[in-house]
């Protein structure tokens, strides 16, 4: 991909974002020559996707300074520079990965203990089973057989598939960022003219989102990246997790900057009181799980019609019962096949780029929805999915081989914090001109504004 085609790919993606959001911010026509310079080497347009996602959020909040391409890459690969007291955490569990079967490959995700237990149950593995045991258990079975057994037990596994252009084309017929208003179920087109070049402040202070209250019901990269970005821009973000579902603290440290974190049952009166005073709710759990708790976007907006509800899922609204993660979507969508290093073994993107881009784009959508609400009143429902972002990436121009990337000094792109006696090192923000507040310990705050 040439520099010119790289710029064109980034520009086309941003044009789609402005159309979906009904806003064209000042600076939208700036040149995009730096888009291909983001050091995220891959055959697919990962660099352009990352640049455009970060740029969209920046421009919608009045940040016209161009991001540093290396800073974007570091932000997308923050788990590679994260250390706690000088030690890097183990990011992938032993039973998470690619495994060869009789007719191809599968991808598993077992980072959470309950997913690992379900995976072992589905494949009749012992509690102390190793990666070698898993490899032996699947090598003489078909991919379909293994995936069906794991999923039936409540685990997470997918077949590694080739690209499906017809599926991606169909997905791209729907918006990348779907927005719907509550007042008259209007789309953004009904209000876009009034705020075409809006860059004024939404919040009550010096930062764009000062005074905006965000209830964060998300976990695992995409949702937390979204809400971390909102906190960076001034929002009061309160992350709530179910009391029974633990979170690896390193994972929260990686994406929890500027937020408070508490554990609270969503069926309590206290939870309902928090909802009463929220401006934004970000949902990152399976739609079917949210429905059982009365927390779908429809439920929330029926009770609180001026809310902005942002909904993120792995597979989209048409697969509400299906759990998933970035790595699984890469495998099933065809990305792993495209990025294969040798045409045999599956490959991966240089970062969890579907997660990170979905997070930045969802944050941009929330800012746009707040501007729409400011202009016309009413609430908004926003949604996207990792699979929809994958479809966008798979239909962008690509390279025959990953572009070479030289080494660069990472020191200017990391920050250090002292947190209750722990020394945390992590990536600095991809957005220029702002800095993260330190994360707090997971689950240690009170559930209150």
Angstrom distance (rounded) from CA 215 to CA 159: 35
422-446 average pLDDT score? 96
Residue 186 has pLDDT above 80, yes or no: no
Show the DSSP H helices in 77-221 as ranges.
113-122, 131-138, 143-152, 165-172
198 pLDDT tier (thresholds 50, 70, 90): very low
Residues 6+ apart with CB under 8 A from 199: 25, 26, 62
2 pLDDT tier (thresholds 50, 70, 90): confident
Query: How many other C-beta atoms are found inside a 10 Å radius of the C-beta of residue 283?
Result: 24
Q: What is the pLDDT of residue 394?
A: 98
Q: What is the pLDDT of residue 406?
A: 79
Query: Across the strands, what pairs with 282?
Result: 216, 310
The mean predicted confidence, pLDDT, of the chain is 93
Give the model confidence (pLDDT) of 11-35 as tens digits: 999 999 999 999 999 989 876 777 8
Beta strand segments in 277-327, E: 280-283, 308-313
Dihedral sign of CA atoms 11, 15, 20, 23 in order: positive
193 pLDDT tier (thresholds 50, 70, 90): very low
Residue 228 token pair: 């971390």
Give the model confidence (pLDDT) of 293-303 as tens digits: 999 999 999 99
158-164 average pLDDT score? 97
52 pLDDT tier (thresholds 50, 70, 90): very high
Residue 168 has pLDDT above 80, yes or no: yes
Q: What is the pLDDT of residue 150?
A: 98
Listing DSSP states for 372-409 in one string gives HHHHH-S-EEEEEEHHHHHHHHHTS---SSPPP-----
Q: What is the pLDDT of residue 197?
A: 45
271-285 average pLDDT score? 96
Residue 255 token pair: 């994406």
Q: For a pLDDT cut of 70, what percent of the chain falls above it?
A: 95
Pick among 3.40.50.300, 3.40.50.10540, 1.10.490.10, 3.90.226.10: CATH of 3-83+175-326+348-427: 3.40.50.10540
Q: For a pLDDT cut of 90, what percent of the chain falls above it?
A: 85
404 pLDDT tier (thresholds 50, 70, 90): confident
203 pLDDT tier (thresholds 50, 70, 90): low
Q: What is the pLDDT of residue 188?
A: 56
Q: What is the pLDDT of residue 200?
A: 58
Q: Are 382 and 301 in contact (CB under 8 A)?
A: no
Name the 3-class secondary structure at 73.
Answer: helix
Q: What is the pLDDT of residue 201?
A: 60
108-128 average pLDDT score? 97
132-144 average pLDDT score? 98
Q: What is the pLDDT of residue 196?
A: 45
421-436 average pLDDT score? 97
| Higher-confidence position of 368 and 2 | 368
Burial class (CB in 10 A: 0-12, 13-18, 19+), 245: exposed
Catalytic residue chosen out of the listed positions 326, 355, 409, 445: 355
Active-site residue flag, 326: no
192 pLDDT tier (thresholds 50, 70, 90): very low
Residue 20 token pair: 């979906």
191-207 average pLDDT score? 57
Residue 194 has pLDDT above 60, yes or no: no
Query: How many other C-beta atoms are found inside a 10 Å radius of the C-beta of residue 320?
Result: 15
Q: What is the pLDDT of residue 435?
A: 97
Beta strand segments in 137-255, E: 157-159, 178-181, 213-217, 236-241
Residue 373 has pLDDT above 90, yes or no: yes
Q: What is the pLDDT of residue 187?
A: 55
Angstrom distance (rounded) from CA 274 to CA 282: 13
Query: How many other C-beta atoms are found inside a 10 Å radius of the C-beta of residue 42?
Result: 23
């Amino acid at each position: 991909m040439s520099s010119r085609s790289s710029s064109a790919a980034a520009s086309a993606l941003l044009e789609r974002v402005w159309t979906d959001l009904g806003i064209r911010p000042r600076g939208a026509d700036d040149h995009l020559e730096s888009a291909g310079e983001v050091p995220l080497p891959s055959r697919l347009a990962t660099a352009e996707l990352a640049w455009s996602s970060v740029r969209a959020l920046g421009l919608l909040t009045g940040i016209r300074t161009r991001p540093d391409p290396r800073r974007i890459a570091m932000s997308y690969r923050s788990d590679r520079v994260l250390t706690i007291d000088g030690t890097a955490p183990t990011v992938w569990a032993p039973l998470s990965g690619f495994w060869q079967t009789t007719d191809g490959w599968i991808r598993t995700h077992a980072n959470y203990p309950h997913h690992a237990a379900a995976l072992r149950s589905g494949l009749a593995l012992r509690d102390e089973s190793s990666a070698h045991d898993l490899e032996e258990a699947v090598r003489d079975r078909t991919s379909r057989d293994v995936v069906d057994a794991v999923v039936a037990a409540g685990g997470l596994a997918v077949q590694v598939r080739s690209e499906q252009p017809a599926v991606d084309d169909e997905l791209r017929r729907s918006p990348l960022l779907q927005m719907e208003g509550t007042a008259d179920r209007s789309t953004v087109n009904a209000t876009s003219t009034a705020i075409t070049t809006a860059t004024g402040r939404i919040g009550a202070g010096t930062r764009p989102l000062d005074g905006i209250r965000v209830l964060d019901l998300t976990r695992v990269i995409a949702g937390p990246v979204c809400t971390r970005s909102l906190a960076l821009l001034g929002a009061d973000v309160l992350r709530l997790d179910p009391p029974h579902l633990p979170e690896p603290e390193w994972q929260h440290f990686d994406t929890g900057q500027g937020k408070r974190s508490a554990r609270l049952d969503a069926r309590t009166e206290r939870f309902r009181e928090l909802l009463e005073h929220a401006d934004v709710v970000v949902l990152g759990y399976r739609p079917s799980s949210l429905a059982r708790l009365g927390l779908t976007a429809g439920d929330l907006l029926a009770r609180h019609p001026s809310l902005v509800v942002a909904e993120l899922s792995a597979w989209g609204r048409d697969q509400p019962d299906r759990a998933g993660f970035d790595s699984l979507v890469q495998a099933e969508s065809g990305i792993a096949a495209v990025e294969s290093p040798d045409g045999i073994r599956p490959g991966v993107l240089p970062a969890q780029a579907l997660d990170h881009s979905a997070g930045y784009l969802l944050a941009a959508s929330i800012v746009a929805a707040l501007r729409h609400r400011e202009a016309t009143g009413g609430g908004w429902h926003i949604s996207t999915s990792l699979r929809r972002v994958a479809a966008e990436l798979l239909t962008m121009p690509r390279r025959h081989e990953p572009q070479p990337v030289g080494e660069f000094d990472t020191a200017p792109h990391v920050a250090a914090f002292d947190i209750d006696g722990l020394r945390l090192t992590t990536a600095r923000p991809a957005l220029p001109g702002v800095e993260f507040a330190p994360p707090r310990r997971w689950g240690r705050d009170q559930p209150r504004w």
